[in-house]
Amino acid sequence: MANNDAPIRVALLGAGTVGSQTARLLVEQADELEARVGRRMELVGIATLDPVEAPWIDQSIVTNDAAELATRADIVIELIGGIEPARTFILKAIDNGASVVTANKALLAKCGPEIYAAAREHGVDIYFEAAVGGAIPIVRPLRESMVGDRINRIMGIVNGTTNYILDEMTTKGLDFDEVLKAAQDAGFAEANPTADIDGFDAASKAAIMACLAFHRDVRIDDVHVEGIRNITAADIAAAKALHRVIKLLAVVKQNDKDEISAGVYPVMLPETHQLAKVGGSFNAVFVEGEASDDLMFYGRGAGGAPTASAVVGDVVTEARHRVHSTVGPDIPLYSNAPILDAADDTSSYMLRMSVFDKPGVLANAALVFAKHGVSIKTVQQVEAEGDDGTHELWVITHAVSDRQIREVVEDLEKSVNDIKSVLTVIRVFEG
């Protein structure tokens, strides 16, 4: 890391939507970035298997040999995605003394601690601001700005596709399938939307945030995942009637026993909560610190140019370190705090039930709740009558474990004759 006047060599692995925009920013803003860094940054290669046609890309530096390119740069930007070969390329770059900037949430959620350790061993940096919230600066605040605080909980809308779908269902009264198709047609959802609507994309981001917030090795397999595939227009209407909004949240928290939990699931938020007001494909992350209190980070969570802005921000940070022959802060994962089994995590819940309007149905249901130690906070019967003479009964509980509420549901459907079915079980956030 000698401090000289030679350009800082930057290699780009991947030239898709984000990669192409990253190259554009590096090329078109080269003079201004040089002024910010104190030395020229030179894009020495772009590795891609697909042809790239953009006026800002010099075709002479395009290659299909990512492994070789990863060995001849000071900073390697990995935007290939997936686990392999991205993991191999990143470790090869680190082994050759390069620092790495990546947006690869899936890789970090599965192999992050291994990569952090490799960077530490070789005295280089790993930066990944774009891996969690696109353009939203959330990684650096967790990694640096709040390192002197204790973080108790993070709740984030970190997937634009699901937020767009739920927002359209809420504002327009549409069904899930109808909105999903419209989102695909408009380019807000992938042709195969499984990673988004089933919560796996958000789960990767939850694992990364938990590592940073709690200094604990938390992987994707430690994250409980529920998506929005089963959210109906009736659920949305029920939330509205209760002055609430349904959002898919990534939630990581550490309780007063230092137990850690990480999950992705739909939550009914009060309509006055800041996250309830986040519409369209926007993302937001709400952080609760012990000393700092409540903080919220809001913005574009995806898209070529917004995500590229976060990538280039990391590149500039690392280039400055190269100029001054230093490295950035490590990612210490020293905690051995227990990770809660998802069944032991606690929340308030809403149960929306289809019941026959007969004397004693509420009393019988209440006995089942009591049997499993579940305290009822509110009960509401909805008078709208179904074709079969049923009504809806809405029950909101006090905080209980996921295991308890599942036992209640099973028992209600099995032992209370006048309950036709439990239509919905959804978490309720009261704060």
Rounded Cα–Cα distance for residues 234 and 297 (Å): 31
Phi first, then psi: give them for residue 368, nearest 5 degrees.
-65, -45
- The continuous run of DSSP H or E covering 232 comes out as none
309 is in an annotated binding site: no
Rounded Cα–Cα distance for residues 246 and 239 (Å): 7
190 is in an annotated binding site: yes
* Amino acid in the structure at residue 235: D
Task: List b or e across 92-104, with b for residues whose CB sees 16 or more CB atoms inside 10 angstroms.
Answer: bbbeeebbbbbbb
**Residue 38 and residue 323 in contact, taking contact as beta carbons nearer than 8 Å:** yes
Determine whether 205 is an active site residue.
Answer: yes
Among candidate residues 110, 205, 247, 253, the one labeled active-site is 205
* Amino acid in the structure at residue 197: I
Nearest to 136 by CA among 209, 194, 188: 209
DSSP string, 99-130: EEEE--HHHHHHHHHHHHHHHHHHT--EE-TH
Identify the burial level of 384 via C-beta atoms within 10 angstroms of its C-beta, where 0-12 means exposed, 13-18 middle and 19 or more buried.
exposed
13 is in an annotated binding site: yes
Nearest to 429 by CA among 285, 266, 303, 318: 266
Rg of the chain in Å (alpha carbons):
24
Across the beta sheet with 75-78, the strand order is 62-63, 41-47, 8-13, 75-78, 99-102, 126-127
17 is in an annotated binding site: yes
- The rounded Cα 254 to chain-centroid distance in angstroms is 17
CA dist 19 → 70, 189, 259 (Å): 15, 19, 38
Which two tokens mark 183? 């989102």
- The rounded Cα 159 to chain-centroid distance in angstroms is 6
18 is in an annotated binding site: yes
SS3 272: coil
Helices (H) and strands (E) in the chain, counts: 15, 17
Rounded Cα–Cα distance for residues 213 and 142 (Å): 6
Rounded Cα–Cα distance for residues 150 and 140 (Å): 15
Residue positions forming the annotated binding site: 13-20, 105, 190
Enumerate the active-site residues: 205
Residue positions forming the annotated binding site for NADP(+): 13-20
Residue positions forming the annotated binding site for L-homoserine: 190
